[in-house]
Structure 1
Amino acid sequence: MAGEKCAFEQTFSFSPLPSKKPSFLQDRDTLTLLMKWSMLGRISAQCYSFDQCFYPYSSEKFVQCFFRDPNVVSSLRRMEAGAWVPLDKPVVSVDVEQVLCTKVSMDLFDPIYSCGILRPSGHVVKCFHDVYPDYDELRQMLQEKDSEQYYVVGNEERGEFLFRLFKHLCFGGELCQYEDTIEPYISTTKQIYKDLISVQKDPETKKISVLSTVLKVCAYDESGLCYPGRREEEQTFAYLIVDPLKRHVTVFYHCYGVGNFTL
């Protein structure tokens, strides 16, 4: 979806919340894993407040206004040539994809434990690959549609933000050191997901449901794609995660490349 101008009746204003930092970016064990996966120093989560009621149908206008807001323009960081830099040219259009986000447990991953991808110990089964000597059944299931195990997780579940997050962590950055067991991926996915997603409990049924709206975004300036990166890359991504109750939005961002190898 390409945007033109924010409608007068639905203009959002934003303010940075620099003191609001997700716990996963402060947890030493998590940072150590992100370093191992070549994502440390290239992954970020910036938080903002906004001033109007948000509804999912207004997602495109919300994103247009976000990238044009002076407070966002002056504070939002993206990575270019290994350095964090601001947006240097005005954003003229955006692409917005509303990402399915309904999961409140890790049950989505249960089929992976019983289909031959893992040994009983939780170790990932290795497999032969012409290009990647350390290839395994988990990464094959995640990306190769002709894999016998690809449809162990259905298409709808693959579209869930929880699964996308898991996949992003499994593939990591340019010099990712892959795990021998699945547990670090699962536990880190759970921690980051809980940090980013807001839930609510129905007072009558006690059922927990997701409150957040997740938007995968790209922005374009007069030269073309400018955010999250200058070129398309599956592991370069930006998600806006909107909490409509608190009127907070978190920008969850990663730029593919060589991460930091020191904490």
Structure 2
Amino acid sequence: MAAGGFGDAGAYDFRFLPQKTFPSLSAPETTSRLRQWSMLGRIRAQAFSFDQTFQAYRKDEFLLAFFKDPNVISNLKLLSDSPGQWITLGTEVKKIDATNVPCTQLSMSFFNRLYDEDIVRDNGNIVKCLDSFYDPFLISDELRKVLLEEDSEKYEIFSQPDREEFLFCLFKHLCLGGALCQYEDVLTPYLETTKLIYKDLVSVRKIPQTKKIQITSSVFKVTAYDSVGVCYPSTKSHTQTFSYFIVDPIRRHVHVLYHCYGVGDMS
């Protein structure tokens, strides 16, 4: 392929889309929940467009081009290590790690097994258990036990492929929350918020022949490195610090969902 052609990392042009809003994150009910879960002010979604055909098998090339684009460098937000201010990237990304995140689930019935297995009672109350620690999380109910403790008896109700699904990842992140998370006693707020954010980020289409709904987005969990080391989503690693890139190849949009673990806005 000729130099500077499609194989070049600079072949994609990206544009920040400030007018694209994510109501799921700004709705009053969601912000009130995110405040309780210590995630408010530390989670955000942004949208960018791109100008070339997206091919999932060339994701690394695509994402490296994304991080090197001037429109991205000046607009992609992340939290500084201290004092937790939103800043832009401001460093040259040398390489990226992108993990494919399966995104096939179309229904919240995926979580019905939590009721079937008595993790959650029929009235929606989450079943309590004796306190234990799974660093840095306090486990005081059966839901967190199923999410975190691999040797717990009901861990297997979600298989490894289930746990890799974007819908599950989103749900788990919301359940675990930030540094001063106040856990819910009932399941509904977690399910409702997961569904709203998922629908906001993921694109679907109806296949005309079958009338079936199909997810068209590709999802990647992304880490970026500069010459020093990890620079995005944060220089400090934590299971609750993440950045998911949700790529819509038809509309040619990238949605970036970002969260950095810490103490969320309390006011």
Equivalent pairs, count: 257
Contact 2:10–2:69 at 8 Å: present in 1 too?
no
Corresponding residue of 1:67: 67
Structure 1 residue 248 and structure 2 residue 249: aligned? no
TM-score, normalised by the number of residues in structure 2: 0.93
Measured after TM superposition, the shift of residue 133 of structure 1 is 6.7
Q: What RMSD over aligned residues (CA atoms) do the two structures have, in Å?
A: 1.4
Contact 1:126–1:134 at 8 Å: present in 2 too?
no
> Once the two structures are superposed, what CA deviation does each residue of 1:165-209 show, in whole Å capped at 9, x if it has no partner?
000000010000000000100010000000000001111110101
Measured after TM superposition, the shift of residue 118 of structure 1 is 1.3
Contact 2:9–2:62 at 8 Å: present in 1 too?
no
Identity %: 49
Corresponding residue of 2:3: none
Corresponding residue of 1:22: 22
* 2:208 alignment partner AA: P
Describe how 1:104-143 pairs up with structure 2 within 5 A.
104-131=106-133, 135-143=140-148
Describe how 1:1-263 pairs up with structure 2 within 5 A.
7-8=7-8, 11-80=11-80, 81=82, 82-131=84-133, 135-262=140-267
* 2:41 alignment partner AA: G
**Structure 1 runs of 4+ with >6 Å offset:** none
* 1:77 alignment partner AA: K
Q: Which moved more, 1:252-261 or 1:115-124?
A: 115-124
Secondary structure of 1:200's counterpart equals strand
User: 1:86 and 1:9 mapped to 2: Cα distance?
Assistant: 21
- Closer/same/farther in 2, CA of residues 130 and 170 from structure 1, 3 Å limit: closer
Gaps of 5+ in 2: 1-5
User: 1:130 and 1:39 mapped to 2: Cα distance?
Assistant: 23
Corresponding residue of 1:3: none
Gaps of 5+ in 1: 1-5
- Closer/same/farther in 2, CA of residues 48 and 9 from structure 1, 3 Å limit: closer
Contact 2:17–2:49 at 8 Å: present in 1 too?
yes
User: 1:198 and 1:24 mapped to 2: Cα distance?
Assistant: 14
Secondary structure of 1:129's counterpart equals strand
User: 2:262 and 2:9 mapped to 1: Cα distance?
Assistant: 41
TM-score, normalised by the number of residues in structure 1: 0.94
